[in-house]
Amino acid sequence: MQTSTILATAGAAGFIAAGGFGAAAVIAQTGSDNPAVKTVTIDVGKGQKGETGPAGPAGPIGPTGARGPTGARGPAGETGPAGQQGPQGLQGPKGDPGSQTCPAGFVPGDLVINHPGGQTTIFTCLEA
């Protein structure tokens, strides 16, 4: 074989191996004085399996299926610890004055309650 035939064949094999099936062209200079000594077959696409690619985007949600039967109820769990007291809320708008009638022996007044979160005042009937 001549050097140009070898280079052309190697170049065409490179195109085929790279996936350029349509771009591959074999330019061979053959004559009766250069009989083929050996045949080489390249099977493109029969190589080793590559790594799995990344997952594609999620498809649309399908329709809801039929509801299954209710299972047996399990035992009740333990009661958890009490949470911390939340912050004091904002004071609401002042309402219209109302009438209050206290029972005998009581008078209207403010009951002030001091507690760890602050101070609360309740208008109620106090014993006279």
Q: For position 60, what pLDDT does the model report?
A: 93
69-91 pLDDT, tens digit per residue, is: 999 999 999 999 999 999 999 99
Q: For position 27, what pLDDT does the model report?
A: 39
Residue 124 pairs in a beta bridge with 109
| Count of beta carbons in the 10 Å neighbourhood of residue 12 | 18
> Percentage of residues in the chain with pLDDT exceeding 70?
63
| Per-residue pLDDT band at 122 (split at 50, 70, 90) | confident
Q: What is the pTM of this model?
A: 0.24
Q: For position 65, what pLDDT does the model report?
A: 92
| Count of beta carbons in the 10 Å neighbourhood of residue 103 | 7
CB contact at 8 A, 113 and 120 = yes
Mean pLDDT calculated for residue range 32-46: 52
Q: For position 78, what pLDDT does the model report?
A: 93
